[in-house]
Amino acid sequence: MSVLTKAIVANSVIISAIESKDIVNKAIKIHNLSPVAAAAMGRTLTMAALMGKEFKNKEDYLTVIVDGNGPLGRITVCADGDGHVKGEIINPVAETVVKSDGHLDVGGAVGRDGTLTVIKDIGLKQPYVGTSKLVSGEIAQDFAYYFAESEQQPCGVTLGVGLNNKRCTSAGGVWVRIMPGCPSDVLDRVETIMYAMDEMSYQFDGSTAQQVISRFFGELDPVFTESAEVCYKCNCNKRKIDRVVRSLGKQEATDILDEMGQIEVCCHFCGKKYVYDRDSVDKLFK
Ligand SMILES: [Zn+2]
C-alpha cells in the first residue's frame, strides 16, 4: 500500500507527495517490465496517483498518455478519485540503456518526439483534454511543462523509481504547485528547495511521504492537510469485456470461435483473462 500526503506552505504553496514502491512493483509484476520500462511507467503511475487525489469525487477519472515515439511505445496510465491507479505500455520489455552517469536512459526509451496528453472525466458532457509536447521524455519535466503550458499552473515535479534488477526498491514523487499571491520570498525558497531535490527514489527509501515533505520543506512550516492510501487496481469487469466482444460484430466473433474454439480477451491493465465459449458468445449477440 502506498500513502500520499498533502501539505500547504504559507497558504500559497500546495505540496503533494507519495511513496509509491508498491504501485511500481505491482506494475512490474503484471507487465513483466524491463528496468527502463519500470522507471518510465513507475514515474507516470506515481504522477497520475498524485493528480487523482485532486478529484472531488471517487468516480472522477483521469487518463495520462505519454507517447514519445521511443522504443517503449505509448504509455497509458489511469487514476481515479478513489486512490486507484493502473497502466499499460506497448513494449514492456524494451531494452534498458544505462547512461554514462549511471542513470537509466528513460528519456531515450520514452522518446522525445511526441506528446503528453491528460484526459480528465469529471462527469461533465465532455471530458477535459490537455496536451503538450514532450520536452525530455524523462516524465517529471514533461509533466511540469504540461502543467505550465496546458493548465497555466506553475509547478515543480520530481519523480523517482529506484530499481534492483526487476524489483523496485524505492519510489516516490513530489508535486509542488504555486498558487496566485504566493509571496516572492516563499517562492524563492521553494524554487531553491525544488532545485535541490535530487535522486528522488533514495529520498523515499525507508521514508514516508510526510517525512520527505518535512525533510525538504520543514523550514517553511508545512501544514499537513490530508493523507490517503493509493494502490494499483484495475476496474475491468465482465460487463466491460462483454462490450469489447460485442464490438467485434457477430461474424468476426463466429470466425474466431470457429478457428480457436473460444474467444479469449486479456485486460491490458491487469492481465486478467476473460474466456468466452460458443454459448456465451451466442448470448451476447442475442
Ligand atoms: Zn483489468
Q: How far is the CA of 256 from the centre of ligand 1 (A)?
A: 22
Q: How far is the CA of 87 from the centre of ligand 1 (A)?
A: 10
Residue 97 makes CB contacts below 8 A (sequence gap 6+) with 36, 104, 105, 108, 109
CA distance 278 to 253: 9
Q: What is the pLDDT of residue 199?
A: 82
pTM of the predicted protein model: 0.95
Q: How far is the CA of 217 from the centre of ligand 1 (A)?
A: 38
pLDDT tens digit sequence for 213-255 = 999 999 999 999 999 999 999 999 999 999 999 999 999 999 9
CB 93, CB 71: distance < 8 Å? no
Q: How far is the CA of 128 from the centre of ligand 1 (A)?
A: 24
The x, y and z cell numbers of residue 148, run together, are: 505550465
Q: How far is the CA of 215 from the centre of ligand 1 (A)?
A: 37
Q: How far is the CA of 235 from the centre of ligand 1 (A)?
A: 6
Q: How far is the CA of 233 from the centre of ligand 1 (A)?
A: 8
Categorize the per-residue pLDDT at 197 as very low, low, confident or very high, splitting at 50, 70 and 90.
confident
Q: What domains are defined for the chain?
A: 2-232 (3.55.30.10), 238-284 (3.90.1280.10)
pLDDT tens digit sequence for 11-28 = 999 999 999 999 999 999
Please calculate the CA angle 137-141-145 and round it to the nearest 5 degrees.
105
Q: What is the pLDDT of residue 200?
A: 86
Q: What is the pLDDT of residue 256?
A: 93
CA distance 284 to 243: 9
Q: Please compute the mean of the pLDDT values over residues 147-168 and round it to a whole number.
A: 94
Query: 3-state class of 246 per DSSP?
Result: helix
Q: How far is the CA of 240 from the centre of ligand 1 (A)?
A: 10
Q: What is the pLDDT of residue 116?
A: 98
Q: How far is the CA of 205 from the centre of ligand 1 (A)?
A: 29
Bin 165: left if φ > 0, else alpha if -120 < ψ < 50, else beta: left
Residue 210 makes CB contacts below 8 A (sequence gap 6+) with 5, 7, 17, 224, 227
